[in-house]
Amino acid sequence: MRRLKPFAILALIPVAAMAQPAWLQFAGNAAHSAAATVPAQKLARIVWQTAVDLDPQYSSNELLAHYGSPLVTAANTVIIPVKTGAAGGFRVDARAGSDGVLQWSQTSDYILPPHDWTPEFAPVLVANRVYFPGAGGTIYYRDNPDSPGGTSGQIAFYGFSNYQADPAAYSSSVIINTPLTADSAGNIYFGFIVVGAAPLGLSSGIARVSASGQGSWVSVTAAAGDLSMTEVKQNSAPALSLDQQELYVAISNGINGYLVELNAASLAPAARIAMIDPKSGEGAWLDDDSSSAPTVGPDGDVYYGVLETPPMENNYRGWLLHFDANLTTAKTPGSFGWDDTASVVPASLVPSYQGTSQYLVMTKYNDYIGAGGNGENRIAVLDPNATEPDPINGATVMREVLTMLGPTPSAAGGVKEWCINSAAIDAPDASIMVGSEDGKLYRWDLKANTLSESIALTSGLGEAYTPTAIGPDGKVYAINNATLFAVGEVRPRR
């Protein structure tokens, strides 16, 4: 297969995604663009697999659990968050990317926040260290993640000595409720909630821990300038601007809320914008069952998925809201967004595209048959700067560039849903790695607009959305039915 010239592609990929051929955090990088800089291997075989949930809790034929993204170091060690019990219990496993052999494992005393669908337990990689959540809003870390003999420790954004003085008080009240995000300097960011009364006057907020271990935080009420706000939106990983000077966070009162911009160094509030349903003009619904996170485009624009208000206005598809970098202007939304984080597609990857945008955005595009839709569940590449009327409700939305209908019929009618909360972009091969509830992993070829490759992982399952990732050797990682699958070639290319 002919290769696209790397420099033509990489010029449009955010700098934060290009530091090394590793998958460092949710959606790959701090901008959440989900861009891989190495070509994905062919989807020829399951090279290895391992459980990410040792006691999955099924509801009929559904698994309503969001699982943290696998991470992959530049040296090809795969960091895997694992749920060990029915209602909780967590550990982090490190396995060799080549064959899945266990390198090390470390438990966490992390406690889940109140929830309906099981939330994410999501580590982050920075330099030569992996961080992962612990009880009481603490963070565990392990140095030298490629080595079985790495050293470990624990820190707290409010001072670890405070935690040590009364761990029970903090563990019962302070809970990390988002994936961890990191910048290239080793600073980490996350949301946390406070249940009941907590020591030190802590209240729900956004925390920062510097590379040297110094912590700071700002409350959600101060960040949003609204005393009715109660949380950083559950499961929503904070995102960083491309220069990593600004932090974007979704804040809610459990129903409606804001996208907030903070100074990444000081956490000082810089801007906010209310997230509004573009059809009704009412406050959009920030559902805690969703795992949508902000995505920052190459031009600095910010994208965030929400549910519609009133419900059913858009067949429970929600909207992909779109804002300028300063959060002063709401731009054209996309037609789907409620449980999805948009991925960034350089326009050069789509030869049929005739528009003027330098990049496009990829998202799920389901149309739920049980919510008034026709069951024609798709994935889509959209032009963020061109418009068309939405066929369901007439709202002005992003123009479709490519769409792909799910290939497997559903017993309820239509076709089975695409099952991703972030899709990995194989930029060198102009394709996208996407999972489906039919139990298969697919390669969506953007040049031909075909599903050019697929591999069966399981027999299929209705489940909450899961991420895909690409490692530095090109293996593709996908989760289906509580299992992580490493997919690649019989003889990997060199």
Counting every residue written for the chain, the total comes to 494
Report whether 237 contacts 267 (CB < 8 A).
no
The pLDDT score that the predictor gives to residue 19 is 40
Report whether 115 contacts 84 (CB < 8 A).
no
Taking CA atoms, 138 is separated from 87, 169, 182, in Å, by 20, 13, 16
**DSSP β-ladder status, 424-426 and 35-36:** parallel
Q: Which residues contact 40 (CB under 8 A, 6 or more apart)?
A: 424, 426, 429, 431, 433, 443, 470, 474, 475, 476
- Answer whether residue 324 shows pLDDT above 60: yes
Helices and strands, counts by H and E, the chain = 4, 37
pLDDT category of residue 491 using cuts at 50, 70 and 90: low
pLDDT category of residue 7 using cuts at 50, 70 and 90: very low
Handedness of CA 8, 11, 16, 19 (dihedral sign): positive
* Mean pLDDT confidence for 130-146: 98
The pLDDT score that the predictor gives to residue 16 is 39
Longest dimension (CA), the chain: 62
- The stretches of 117-157 forming alpha helices (DSSP H) are none
Report whether 384 contacts 404 (CB < 8 A).
no
Q: Which residues pair with 123 in a beta bridge?
A: none
Coil/strand/helix, residue 162: helix
**DSSP β-ladder status, 359-365 and 246-252:** unpaired
Tally the C-alpha atoms within 13 A of residue 408's C-alpha that lie toward its C-beta: 19
Q: What angle do CA 76, 82, 88 make, to 5 degrees?
A: 160
Classify each residue of 96-110 as buried b or exposed e, where b means 16 or more C-beta atoms within 10 Å of its C-beta. Answer: bbbebeebbebebbb
- Answer whether residue 1 shows pLDDT above 60: no
Query: Residue 243 burial by CB count (10 A; 0-12/13-18/19+): exposed, middle or buried?
Result: exposed
What is the DSSP secondary-structure string of 271-333?
A: EEEE-B-TTT-SBPB--TT-----EE-TTS-EEEEEB-SSTTTTTT--EEEEE-TTS--B-PP
- Answer whether residue 252 shows pLDDT above 90: yes
Tally the C-alpha atoms within 13 A of residue 50's C-alpha that lie toward its C-beta: 22
282: how many CB neighbours lie within 10 A of its CB? 13
Report whether 297 contacts 375 (CB < 8 A).
no
The tokens for 77 are 């060690």
Task: Please tell me which residue, 1 or 263, carries the higher pLDDT value.
Answer: 263
Written as one letter, the residue type at 319 is W
Q: Which residues pair with 128 in a beta bridge?
A: none
Handedness of CA 300, 301, 306, 309 (dihedral sign): positive
The pLDDT score that the predictor gives to residue 127 is 85
The pLDDT score that the predictor gives to residue 90 is 98
Element of type H or E holding 86: none
Coil/strand/helix, residue 222: helix
- Answer whether residue 299 shows pLDDT above 60: yes
- Answer whether residue 12 shows pLDDT above 60: no
The pLDDT score that the predictor gives to residue 18 is 40
pLDDT in tens, 48-93: 999 999 999 999 889 999 999 999 999 999 999 999 999 999 999 9
What is the average pLDDT value for the chain, to the nearest integer? Answer: 94
- Answer whether residue 14 shows pLDDT above 50: no
Dihedral, 250, 251, 257, 262 alpha carbons, nearest 10: -70
The tokens for 409 are 């019929």
The pTM for the full model equals 0.95
Report whether 418 contacts 378 (CB < 8 A).
yes
Query: Strand runs (DSSP E) across 347-395, as ranges?
Result: 359-365, 378-389
The pLDDT score that the predictor gives to residue 58 is 96
Q: How many Å apart are CA 453 and CA 34, to the nearest integer?
A: 20
Specify the DSSP class assigned to residue 350: -
Superfamily of domain 21-488: YVTN repeat-like/Quinoprotein amine dehydrogenase (2.130.10.10)
Written as one letter, the residue type at 139 is I
The pLDDT score that the predictor gives to residue 492 is 54
* Closest listed residue to residue 237, CA positions, set 287, 280, 182: 182
Report whether 345 contacts 446 (CB < 8 A).
yes
pLDDT category of residue 3 using cuts at 50, 70 and 90: very low
Q: How many Å apart are CA 325 and CA 240, to the nearest integer?
A: 11
pLDDT in tens, 185-234: 999 999 999 999 999 999 999 999 999 999 999 999 999 999 999 999 99
Handedness of CA 404, 407, 408, 410 (dihedral sign): positive
Q: How many Å apart are CA 333 and CA 279, to the nearest integer?
A: 10
Report whether 2 contacts 15 (CB < 8 A).
no
pLDDT in tens, 160-196: 999 999 999 999 999 999 999 999 999 999 999 999 9
Percent of the chain's residues with pLDDT above 90 = 92
Tally the C-alpha atoms within 13 A of residue 484's C-alpha that lie toward its C-beta: 31
The pLDDT score that the predictor gives to residue 452 is 98
